[in-house]
């Protein structure tokens, strides 16, 4: 049995198959609110960083600066919308913790930028971060409160456009940049998944399944890497090294 905010729920061998209607999340109970303060902060900081990364990408891609500034503005809107979700529940986001958890990923982006490596910057923000965002929001959607639900659905659709920008830019030159894509993915996948480690209990407390989130991230990133032209074997090896320990439960 697991208890979610005082409600006992039978633990099934396949928790993702448990219809959420059987749960009744109490958005007002202290355990939910405590966890939501950290998760909400992660989302606000993640969206804020995405804004900064797209502004930096706009500087690195003068020919697409207009489109990239538009994507950056969307990210700023996402951050504001999720601030609203916390305010709606009367919750204070734990921003200091969130900034420290995102620092290694931001550092990796800045490293690519310092090397004027446009492939690295696009891989990190448009593929890795955006697949992670779509996976996180799709796992959150069924357990979101009525205020956050339509906001999350709208934001998720936007993230698909950010992923699409990266794919459109990488696909035509994949023969030349495939090795660089693989090298940055190899470094960035463990870094983004490490963000989840200290949040595992919080993710569960708000009704989500961390294994499902990592599985969805892995599936979305695999599809994306396949769309830009990596071979199924290259994709399998990348994800096996980066995400398999999580899916097997040893890194969670
Ligand atoms: C890209 O536009 C923004 C990237 C934001 C990533 C947010 C990741 C948050 C991880 C914490 C666990 C997921 C819970 C999601 C709840 C909304
Ligand atoms: Fe976003
Ligand atoms: Fe995004």
Question: Which residues neighbour 129 within 8 Å (Cβ) at sequence distance 6 or greater?
Answer: 46, 49, 50, 53, 105, 192
Q: Which residue has the tokens 């502004």?
A: 55
Q: Which ligand is nearest to the CA of 163?
A: 3
Token couple for 241? 């090294």
Confidence band, pLDDT 50/70/90 cuts, at residue 173:
very high
pLDDT tops 60 at residue 2: no
Q: Which of 143, 150, 149, 151 is nearest to 207 (CA)?
A: 143
Cα(72) to centroid of ligand 2, in Å?
Answer: 9
Which residue out of 40, 46, 85, 86 has the highest number of ligand 1 atoms within 8 Å of its CB and is therefore the one to mutate? 46
Which residue out of 39, 104, 159, 204 has the highest number of ligand 1 atoms within 8 Å of its CB and is therefore the one to mutate? 39
- pLDDT tens, 28-50? 899 999 999 999 999 999 999 99
pLDDT of residue 112: 98
Q: How far apart are CA 128 and CA 150, in angstroms?
A: 24
Confidence band, pLDDT 50/70/90 cuts, at residue 242:
confident
Cα(248) to centroid of ligand 3, in Å?
Answer: 28
pLDDT of residue 126: 98
Confidence band, pLDDT 50/70/90 cuts, at residue 251:
low
Confidence band, pLDDT 50/70/90 cuts, at residue 158:
very high
CA 28 to chain CA centroid, Å, is 25
pLDDT of residue 245: 77
Which homologous superfamily is 29-247 in? Ferritin, core subunit, four-helix bundle (1.20.1260.10)
**Closest protein CA for atom 15 of ligand 1:** 136
Q: How far apart are CA 250 and CA 252, in angstroms?
A: 6
CA angle in degrees (0–180, nearest 5) for 42-53-240: 70
What string of DSSP letters covers 155-190?
A: HHHHHHHHHHHHHHHHGGGHHHHHHHHHHHHHHHHH
Mean pLDDT across the stretch 55-71? 98
> Helix and strand tally (H, E) in the chain?
11, 2
User: Which residues have CB atoms below 5 A from the ion given as ligand 3?
Assistant: 50, 159, 162
């Amino acid at each position: 049995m697991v208890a979610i905010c005082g409600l006992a729920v039978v633990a099934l061998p396949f928790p993702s198959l448990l219809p959420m209607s059987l749960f009744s999340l109490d958005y007002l109970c202290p355990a939910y609110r405590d966890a939501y303060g950290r998760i909400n902060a992660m989302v606000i900081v993640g969206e804020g960083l995405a804004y900064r990364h797209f502004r930096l990408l706009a500087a690195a891609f003068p020919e697409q600066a207009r489109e990239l500034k538009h994507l950056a503005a969307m990210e700023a809107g996402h951050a504001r919308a999720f601030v609203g979700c916390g305010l709606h529940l009367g919750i204070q986001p734990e921003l200091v913790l969130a900034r420290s958890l995102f620092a290694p990923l931001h550092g990796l982006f800045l490293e690519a930028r310092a090397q004027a490596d446009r492939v690295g910057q696009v891989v990190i923000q448009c593929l890795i971060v955006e697949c992670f965002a779509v996976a996180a929001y799709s796992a959150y959607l069924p357990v979101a409160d009525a205020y956050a639900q339509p906001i999350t659905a709208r934001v998720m659709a936007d993230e698909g456009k950010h992923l699409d920008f990266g794919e459109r830019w990488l696909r035509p030159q994949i023969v030349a940049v495939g090795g660089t894509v693989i090298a940055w993915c190899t470094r960035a996948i463990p870094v983004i998944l490490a963000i989840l480690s200290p949040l595992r209990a919080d993710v569960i407390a708000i009704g989500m399944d961390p294994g499902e989130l990592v599985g969805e991230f892995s599936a979305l990133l695999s599809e994306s890497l396949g769309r830009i032209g990596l071979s199924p074997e290259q994709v399998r090896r990348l994800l096996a090294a980066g995400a398999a320990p999580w899916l097997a439960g040893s890194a969670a």
